[in-house]
Structure 1
């Protein structure tokens, strides 16, 4: 009998114990929440901004009425000549006078070189944010494919302050991910980064070098 067969035989002959109970994740998070300060919208916003800054992401507070104009200013300041976007934002972006607009309106195979070599920035929506880690929740679909938040050097993301959750678990529960989880859910904390080369942190190696979150807040929440 080989050593492998001997090990397998002993494992099969071992007495069968009671299977361990699965962890009660909901009870764990409820216990953590019970010992934490009461969560407020203002506290979630502040913590999200703090954590996003830690990951070298930028948060700009805007209102629903002013975000296109602020985006136009940011594009001008960063020298953005072309902006990739979903068609749902076309009217707002055109109205703000942003030049070089590129609606994502055809298969990637038809303009791959232009997307990868001649697109400065992109604008995407978000599903929400996580205050605990300063993370964006993005659910790509046919109108806003994954490459929109991955390929251009600058990524602008619209985030509703009312959709910032304390934790990932809170987002999963409150948005009922169990019932409608997409095939590709993204968690993005800051711009792309890696330390694979000589253990030196580098940005933009596998995605955008800059992440700018346009945080939609109420007028009284502006700085």
Structure 2
């Protein structure tokens, strides 16, 4: 019997009975009561306050603003997956846009230098967002490895408007993180930033200098006729 199992055995066989988890009051970290519109507005306010940019689009036409973002920033090489619907739709829309689409499902040792030196932007899907903190949450996969959101100078994330939750607790509970959390779960609350001893913020030192969130709406996006 291992030392770990021996300790657990002694705990289970305590004379005064097994240990039980204390009752906890989670009301302070959930139950904000915000509507879906309020959640999205709060998310946008927080993420733009730290230099994130939000672009609204309809679900059926989101690749048009994607192409505009790439053109405005002079992106020539875009890293993205293949299998996820977001990546598949982007590939189809950008086939004749003059942007080189960089494959990402390969061993990092084989293209590490290329990724750090010659990729202009990375495109990823998201699983949702958190209104209270203005954060995106992503679960990386071989098709969308975490480095395409952490290394290129520009990260473009696609978020469905109806997937914004109120708090981090709501995300963890509603999506069953306790039963199936991946090796890496990413919470992204803006472009990379750091500060020196004088508290002067610098962006892009340890990751993307820019974050653009394309929010897809089921109907007509705000501002569209």
Larger mean CA deviation between 138-147 and 162-171 belongs to: 138-147
Distance 2:184 2:40 in 1: 26
Alpha carbons 2:63, 2:89 under 8 Å: kept: no
1:154: which partner in 2? Answer: 154
After the TM superposition, list the runs of 4 or more consecutive aligned residues in structure 1 that deviate by more than 4 angstroms: none
Alpha carbons 2:120, 2:154 under 8 Å: kept: yes
Distance 2:29 2:126 in 1: 24
Larger mean CA deviation between 167-176 and 191-200 belongs to: 191-200
Gaps of 5+ in 1: 1-18
By how many angstroms is 1:70 displaced?
1.2
Distance of aligned partners of 1:200 and 1:125 in 2 relative to their CA distance in 1, 3 Å threshold: same
Alpha carbons 1:90, 1:103 under 8 Å: kept: no
2:56: which partner in 1? Answer: 61
From 93, 96, 120, the equivalent of 1:95 is 93
Select the structure of larger CA radius of gyration: 1
Alpha carbons 2:57, 2:220 under 8 Å: kept: no
Alpha carbons 2:131, 2:167 under 8 Å: kept: yes
Alpha carbons 1:68, 1:93 under 8 Å: kept: no
1:47: which partner in 2? Answer: 42
Gaps of 5+ in 2: 1-18
TM-score, normalised relative to structure 1: 0.83
1:185: which partner in 2? Answer: 185
Alpha carbons 2:191, 2:210 under 8 Å: kept: yes
